Structure 1
């Protein structure tokens, strides 16, 4: 497939990319922090094209792979020209002042420059939260709450029709569930078992094959003095796993059952330990990131005021 694109590259202005955030954790949106406005591609193919390029930013995607993403195994006869048209429309849609999409001999590449993505923020915050959880669960819950608050719906909403977007959405959903499990484990370590029982009931119903959620719910119920209900959760998990997958619960869930039956002392809520060095570093990095963002916003406002004089 031959792709030709005669669009001239625009001059690079880093202040434009710094103010731009590509959002994939929900509807596909380009958000301008400077103006507070959002750019939403109008059609599903435009959204899928943008989502694919952003998810693989810095990576060359061949025209054939992009065509498969947009049209599956039934591309139009003029697929190269149609793809070129979609790319050209997307270029016009994105904020001016930066060459977002480059044309390469066999495909296209999106360069973020200094723009950000909500996926990168989620990855950073959730990673810091999991790192802080063993020593400082209260701080971990704040980080994980902030990470999960970035989600505004299912990942790559209304864009998951091709193999690349589908795979990326599945990967991100797995990361979201892992962050949720870390959040509720940190909540248990903060002594918040009574607060999270309802949430864990809801999530085990929504994700009935995730043994970790059943495990956390059993501990929360046991700490609330509801041992029989905790045992009932194990039986519910076993029936679902056997009925759906034909397998018994794994060793972690079976060990949890034995611990509850034997009233194991390790099931009682433990006091959070003092933060270790890793948690302190994560906390300081979080504060530094916020200060940098605040300083960037302040400099932008000053520049705008100077330009308006």
Structure 2
């Protein structure tokens, strides 16, 4: 289990005794460092993380003080494989990236997709499960860091994709009943994600709950009509057609890769 993380309330287990939970500024800086392990992060980027607008005249000094606190915490932890090095007008948080939850999450996602492409269904399902289990809440839970919003959005989108691929594979292998509760939560959290809705409709219909599947469709149609003045898209319409025809059809799998560029954060 990774001992550093941002997929929920940020944590750094080896530094916990040195950086108290109430030291918000240190946690903002540490979160930015965990977001980009082993990469250069400018002092200006850290100032932006701490103050979205209107940083005080002492901003640079305060950031340096926070970096000093984190550096001392690393030293106190006794970890020989971790460091915070000053580089030009910035720093690099050196660490085995596999100790950080979002890095492990992204690796497991790639491995799950590879296993699925090779027809290794059970392995793929297990890898998806392990990836989703790393999430303890929202990204940077408890911290408001607008400068990291793009990274937050990219990770949350990737989580939704992983969940939907896991659901689709579960339904395709006859495990639909087991994922319905999680699908219901997923659609509740992402009511306008049409792939999730289509999967929930297919799972409900496959378990003989066709009336509930129609209700899910109607709810989406109402939301889209009231909010956007449009109707459900192709995936959901195909799911409805399959139900009307008495079959179960899963939405087509995603074919687009989740690029490294989408996961990068500004330095």
Match of residue 31 from structure 1: 13
Q: How does 1:149-160 map to 2 (within 5 A)?
A: 149-160=133-144
* 1:223 positional shift: 0.8
Gaps of 5+ in 1: 1-18, 269-309
Task: State the Cα deviation string for residues 259-292 of structure 1 (Å, max 9, x = none).
Answer: 211224x549xxxxxxxxxxxxxxxxxxxxxxxx
Match of residue 192 from structure 2: 209
Match of residue 147 from structure 2: 163
The partner residue of 1:54 within 34, 38, 54 is: 34
The partner residue of 2:174 within 170, 191, 216 is: 191
* 1:113 positional shift: 4.7
Q: Does structure 2 conserve the Cα–Cα contact (< 8 Å) formed by 1:28 and 1:40?
A: no
Match of residue 114 from structure 2: 131
Instruction: Measure, in 2, the Cα distance between the counterparts of 1:40 and 1:126.
Output: 33
The partner residue of 2:87 within 104, 110, 116 is: 104
* 1:136 positional shift: 3.4
Change (3 A) 1:28 1:114: closer
Give the aligned length: 244
SS at match of 1:133: helix
Match of residue 213 from structure 2: 230
Two-structure CA RMSD over aligned residues (Å): 2.4
* 1:52 positional shift: 0.5
* 1:99 positional shift: 5.9
* 1:191 positional shift: 0.8
Instruction: Measure, in 1, the Cα distance between the counterparts of 2:26 and 2:52.
Output: 15
* 1:98 positional shift: 5.0
SS at match of 2:13: strand
Pair 1:257 & 2:237 matched:
no
Instruction: Measure, in 2, the Cα distance between the counterparts of 1:246 and 1:130.
Output: 35
Match of residue 41 from structure 1: 19
Q: Does structure 1 conserve the Cα–Cα contact (< 8 Å) formed by 2:81 and 2:95?
A: no
Match of residue 90 from structure 1: 70
Q: TM-score, normalised by structure 2?
A: 0.82
Task: State the Cα deviation string for residues 56-113 of structure 1 (Å, max 9, x = none).
Answer: 2233222222111102212122112111111101111123435622212222222225
Change (3 A) 1:115 1:255: closer
Change (3 A) 1:114 1:140: closer
Instruction: Measure, in 2, the Cα distance between the counterparts of 1:261 and 1:89.
Output: 63
Q: Does structure 1 conserve the Cα–Cα contact (< 8 Å) formed by 2:97 and 2:103?
A: no
Q: Does structure 1 conserve the Cα–Cα contact (< 8 Å) formed by 2:39 and 2:92?
A: yes
Instruction: Measure, in 2, the Cα distance between the counterparts of 1:180 and 1:39.
Output: 34
Q: Does structure 2 conserve the Cα–Cα contact (< 8 Å) formed by 1:30 and 1:38?
A: yes
* 1:161 positional shift: 2.1
Change (3 A) 1:199 1:20: closer
Pair 1:64 & 2:44 matched:
yes
SS at match of 1:109: strand
Change (3 A) 1:48 1:40: farther
Match of residue 175 from structure 1: 158
* 1:39 positional shift: 5.1
Match of residue 247 from structure 1: 230
